[in-house]
Amino acid sequence: MTIPRIEFRHISKTFTGVTQTIPALKDVSFSVMTGEFVTITGTSGSGKSTIFNLCAGLIEPDEGEILIDGEKPASLAGMTGYMPQRDLLLPWRSVLRNVLLPMEIQDVSREESRKKALEMLPYFGLETFENEYPSALSGGMRQRAALMRTWLTGCSTLLLDEPFGALDALTRKELQNWLLNVWQEFGRTVLFITHDIEEAVYLADRVIVLSARPGKVKRELTVNLPRPRHQKMIAEPEFGNLVRELLDELGVSS
């Protein structure tokens, strides 16, 4: 049996507020295999971002354990490249100096990190923009720069929290295709949060659906659509059936 890259085992997490306790996750178990592209979807407040915060070691679960490659690490910090929801580029740094940040923190030599970043710029469609500041970039380019920064952590597993959430529909589709291309070219494990069901199906090998608060895994759905994916697949009956199944699961009648 193959050992999963990430395994959540019976994870529960409750937050204590000023006047109330909020059960965010209840007995959540799932796994992600090496090289897989898994999307997590669910309504707002269903605990999606909490899953990433746990995975990145920023918060601790109340119950359960998280395994990486079959083992419980002493610390989860730094084991995954995390792009949080509303991740922002630093406006006072150029694109190049923004994407160099993770390597700066890891104390990679200036020369080596610059070489790596310059090599990757074309894959992120940012060549010739390395000396510009974030304010000079379009929304789509800014998200690609933020993704590139996460990519350059060098982590084999990436946690991407609604990276395309604030983009217009066309730019969003463009970036979906672009992300799949980079993923296929370089093969990393991706966990991707989205509340957009079409996006969840289009990108994924597998979709994990969370129930409303407290989040539980309500459904896991394998997407057997061929790769590479094309936007015209969205019009195919098989795609529509998967989307409908997920909408039914979330209690949204179509």
Q: Using CB under 6 A as the criterion, which residues of the chain lie in contact with ligand ADP when the complex forms?
A: 15, 17, 22, 24, 42, 44-50, 213
Residue 24 contact partner, candidates Mg ion, ligand ADP, none, CB within 5 to 8 A by sort of partner: ligand ADP
In the complex, the smallest distance separating the C-beta of residue 166 from ligand ADP, rounded to whole angstroms, is 15
Q: State which residue has the least CB distance to Mg ion.
A: 49
Q: Looking at the chain, list the stretches that DSSP marks H as alpha helix, in order from N- to C-terminal side.
A: 48-55, 95-99, 101-105, 110-120, 139-151, 169-186, 197-203, 237-249
Nearer to Mg ion, 34 or 85 (CB): 85
d(CA 11, CA 15): 13
In the complex, the smallest distance separating the C-beta of residue 51 from Mg ion, rounded to whole angstroms, is 9
Nearer to Mg ion, 97 or 195 (CB): 195
Q: Phi and psi dihedrals of 85, rounded to 5?
A: -60, 140
Q: How far is CA 153 from CA 13, 91, 124, 146, 183, in A?
A: 27, 20, 15, 11, 15
Residue 113 contact partner, candidates Mg ion, ligand ADP, none, CB within 5 to 8 A by sort of partner: none
Nearer to ligand ADP, 41 or 176 (CB): 41
Nearer to ligand ADP, 46 or 189 (CB): 46
In the complex, the smallest distance separating the C-beta of residue 192 from ligand ADP, rounded to whole angstroms, is 13
CB 34 within 8 A of CB 5: yes
Q: Phi and psi dihedrals of 129, rounded to 5?
A: -105, 5
Binds Mg ion by CB under 5 A, chosen from 49, 113, 153, 176? 49
Residue 35 contact partner, candidates ligand ADP, Mg ion, none, CB within 5 to 8 A by sort of partner: none
In the complex, the smallest distance separating the C-beta of residue 196 from ligand ADP, rounded to whole angstroms, is 13
Residue count of the chain: 254
Residue with tokens 């894959």: 123
In the complex, the smallest distance separating the C-beta of residue 80 from Mg ion, rounded to whole angstroms, is 16
In the complex, the smallest distance separating the C-beta of residue 28 from ligand ADP, rounded to whole angstroms, is 11
94 makes contact with Mg ion (CB under 5 A): no
Site stretch for Mg ion (CB under 5 A), options 19-27, 42-50, 61-69, 183-191 = 42-50
Q: Looking at 187-236, list the stretches that DSSP marks H as alpha helix, in order from N- to C-terminal side.
A: 197-203
SS3 145: helix
Nearer to ligand ADP, 25 or 223 (CB): 25
CB 14 within 8 A of CB 21: yes
In the complex, the smallest distance separating the C-beta of residue 146 from ligand ADP, rounded to whole angstroms, is 18
SS3 43: coil
Tokens, residue 234: 């969205």
d(CA 199, CA 201): 5
Q: Which residues bind Mg ion (CB under 5 A)?
A: 48-49, 85
